[in-house]
Structure 1
Amino acid sequence: MDVLQKLSGHIRRKGLRATLGKIRKLYIFSHQQLLWMERDLVSPVPPHRLKPYPPLRVVRITADNASAFARYFGDRVGTMAELAKEGHTGHMHVDEQGDAVAFIWGTPRDYFDRHYYGCRFPVKPGEFFEFGGELARAYWGTELSVDLQLRLWEAMAAQGCRKVVDVCESTNIPALKLHLRMSYTEQQRIMNIYTLFGRWRFYRETRYSGSRLAALGKTSRPPVNATAA
């Protein structure tokens, strides 16, 4: 009965077509497209109009301090500790109470994402793979989204990296706009993830020509203040 009530409520809120689409993606078949992006670590970040944020401390994530994620990212505590044990470079930005309000990770070697996508992301010499960046809701739309990356870039440059690469879901418009704001460029590669019956996953890389993000760039408003890398 509870399942039927939830289904009925979803139909009232989203409509029958959207509900059937969600059921298909969850239980029958889904296709995710991850766009590969890249950027050098020395070019300045373009001007932006993001809001300022209160002072925070930047702390290297370790297995011993992962408990700082409990308040705002309670379901990630174990994952943060595991990533630290695997030797990846992780930064968390911590508030006055000692709670992590943002985090981001990087690794200069191939990254096997067993926590979310379930596939391997190859990394070339001189590159590092950036992943897992997230902010607590109160910090959405602030300069922290820029500073979070800049501090990681500095740390990875000190390890000999010259370029950052990452992937972004083609349907995640806010994240894609953030990439444009940070002057990432498209590699014209797509990691395709196919999920069958919510259980089996298959992976295939494809390429494309032109730009998948040009339309997003045209809709952006002109910036008003500048930040340098």
Structure 2
Amino acid sequence: MDVWQKLTAHIRRKGLRNTLGKIGKHYFFAHQELLWMERDLVSPVPPHSLKPYPPLRVKKITADNASAFARYFGDRVGTMAELAREGHTGHMHVDDQGDAVAFIWGTPRDYFDRHYYGCLFPVKPGEFFEFGGELARAYWGTELSVDLQLELWKAMAAQGCNKVVDVCEFHNIPALKLHLRMGYTEQQRIMNIYTLFGRWRFYRETRYSGSRLDALRKPSRPPVTATAT
């Protein structure tokens, strides 16, 4: 009865069509498109209108300090410690209480993501793969989303990297807009992830021409011209 109540409640909120679509993706077939993006580490970030945030401290994530994630990212403590032990470079921004309110990771070698997508992301010499960036809800829409990346880029440049690459889900509009705001460009490659019956996954890379993000770009303002009177 509990399952039926949850199902009917979801139908009332989202509608029958959306509910059936969600059931189909979860139990039968799902397709995710991950767009490859890239950026150099020296070009300035385009102007933005993000909100300021209170002072925070930047700390390198280690297996010993992963407990700082307990308050805002309680389900990630073990994962953070594991990634640190594997030798990836992770930064967390902590508040006055010592709690991590944001984190991000980078690695200059091929990255096998067994925690989420379950596939291998290859990395070329001179590049690093950026992954796992997340902010606590109170910091959404702030400059922290920019500073979080800039601090990591600085650390990876010191390791000899000159380009950042990552992937972004095509349906994650806020994340895609963040990439455009940071000056990323499309590699015109897609990592396709197919899931059957919620269990088996298959992967295939495809390519495309042109841009798939033009609709998200803000139109440039026309120059202001004097009007004759």
- Alignment partner, residue 168 of structure 1: 168
TM-score, normalised relative to structure 1: 0.95
Matched residue SS, 1:87: coil
- Alignment partner, residue 45 of structure 1: 45
Matched residue SS, 1:218: coil
The amino acid across from 2:35 in the alignment is L
The amino acid across from 2:198 in the alignment is G
Give the Cα–Cα distance (whole angstroms) in 1 for the partners of residues 124 and 134 of structure 2: 25
Correspondence list, 1:105-144, <5 A: 105-144=105-144
- Alignment partner, residue 81 of structure 2: 81
CA-atom RMSD in angstroms: 1.2
Correspondence list, 1:12-27, <5 A: 12-27=12-27
Give the Cα–Cα distance (whole angstroms) in 2 for the partners of residues 158 and 214 of structure 1: 33
Q: CA deviation digits over 1:46-103, x for unaligned, max 9?
A: 1000000000000000000000000000000000000000000000000000000000
- Alignment partner, residue 200 of structure 2: 200
Matched residue SS, 2:45: coil
Identity among equivalent pairs (%): 89
Q: Report the Cα offset of residue 220 of structure 1.
A: 8.6
Change (3 A) 1:220 1:199: farther
- Alignment partner, residue 92 of structure 2: 92
Correspondence list, 1:139-218, <5 A: 139-218=139-218
Matched residue SS, 1:52: coil
The amino acid across from 2:215 in the alignment is A
The amino acid across from 1:34 in the alignment is L
Structure 2: give runs of 5+ residues left out of the alignment.
223-229
Change (3 A) 1:220 1:205: farther
- Alignment partner, residue 225 of structure 2: none
Change (3 A) 1:137 1:221: farther
Q: Report the Cα offset of residue 219 of structure 1.
A: 5.7
- Count matched residues: 222
Matched residue SS, 1:91: strand
- Alignment partner, residue 225 of structure 1: none
Matched residue SS, 2:217: helix
Q: Report the Cα offset of residue 218 of structure 1.
A: 3.2
Give the Cα–Cα distance (whole angstroms) in 2 for the partners of residues 221 and 186 of structure 1: 23
Q: CA deviation digits over 1:131-176, x for unaligned, max 9?
A: 0000000000000000000000000000000000000000000000
The runs of at least 4 consecutive aligned structure 1 residues that moved more than 6 Å come to none
Give the Cα–Cα distance (whole angstroms) in 2 for the partners of residues 42 and 175 of structure 1: 21
Give the Cα–Cα distance (whole angstroms) in 2 for the partners of residues 220 and 72 of structure 1: 38
TM-score, normalised relative to structure 2: 0.95
Give the Cα–Cα distance (whole angstroms) in 2 for the partners of residues 121 and 203 of structure 1: 11
